[in-house]
Amino acid sequence: MTRWQQQLAEGFSNSAALLEYLGLDPSLADIRAEQSFATRVPKHFADLMTSSIDDPLLRQVWAQGAENFQAPGYSDDPLQEQQAAAPGLLHKYQSRVLLILRGGCAINCRYCFRRAFPYAELTLTQRDMQASLDYIASHPEVNEVILSGGDPLMADDRAIAGLLEQLEAIAHLRRIRIHTRLPVVIPDRLTDELLARLTQSRLKPVLVLHSNHAQEISPVLRERLQPYVQQMPILNQSVLLAGVNDDVDTLSALSEALFDADIRPYYLFLLDRVNGAAHFEVDEREARALYESLQSRLPGFLVPKLAREIPDRASKTLVV
Binding site for ligand SF4 (CB under 6 A): 105, 107-109, 112, 114, 149-151, 181, 210
**Cβ 107 to ligand SF4, closest distance in Å?**
5
**Cβ 202 to ligand SF4, closest distance in Å?**
28
**Cβ 152 to ligand SF4, closest distance in Å?**
10
Q: What is the torsional sign of CA 258, 263, 264, 269?
A: negative
CA separation (Å) from 212 to 84, 137, 237, 255?
Answer: 28, 35, 8, 10
CA separation (Å) from 189 to 123, 154, 241, 292, 296?
Answer: 21, 9, 26, 36, 36
Question: Would you say 111 or 248 has its CB closer to ligand SF4?
Answer: 111
Cis peptide before 243 (omega within 30 of 0): no
Return d(Cα 217, Cα 219) in angstroms, integer: 7
Pairing of strands 317-318, 305-308: antiparallel
Return d(Cα 299, Cα 21) in angstroms, integer: 39
Q: List Cβ neighbours of 52 (8 Å cut-off, separation of 6 or more).
A: 24, 58
Return d(Cα 111, Cα 125) in angstroms, integer: 26
**Cβ 288 to ligand SF4, closest distance in Å?**
23
**Cβ 114 to ligand SF4, closest distance in Å?**
5
**Cβ 198 to ligand SF4, closest distance in Å?**
20
Question: Would you say 100 or 136 has its CB closer to ligand SF4?
Answer: 100
Question: Would you say 22 or 186 has its CB closer to ligand SF4?
Answer: 186
Question: Would you say 236 or 248 has its CB closer to ligand SF4?
Answer: 236
25: three-class secondary structure by DSSP: coil
Question: Would you say 59 or 210 has its CB closer to ligand SF4?
Answer: 210
228: three-class secondary structure by DSSP: helix
**Cβ 25 to ligand SF4, closest distance in Å?**
25
Question: Would you say 61 or 142 has its CB closer to ligand SF4?
Answer: 61
**Cβ 180 to ligand SF4, closest distance in Å?**
8
Question: Would you say 81 or 247 has its CB closer to ligand SF4?
Answer: 81
Question: Would you say 38 or 320 has its CB closer to ligand SF4?
Answer: 38
**What distance, in Å, lies between the first and last C-alpha atoms of the chain?**
46
Return d(Cα 135, Cα 240) in angstroms, integer: 34
CA-based nearest residue to 99, from 86, 83, 112, 82: 86
Q: List Cβ neighbours of 169 (8 Å cut-off, separation of 6 or more).
A: none
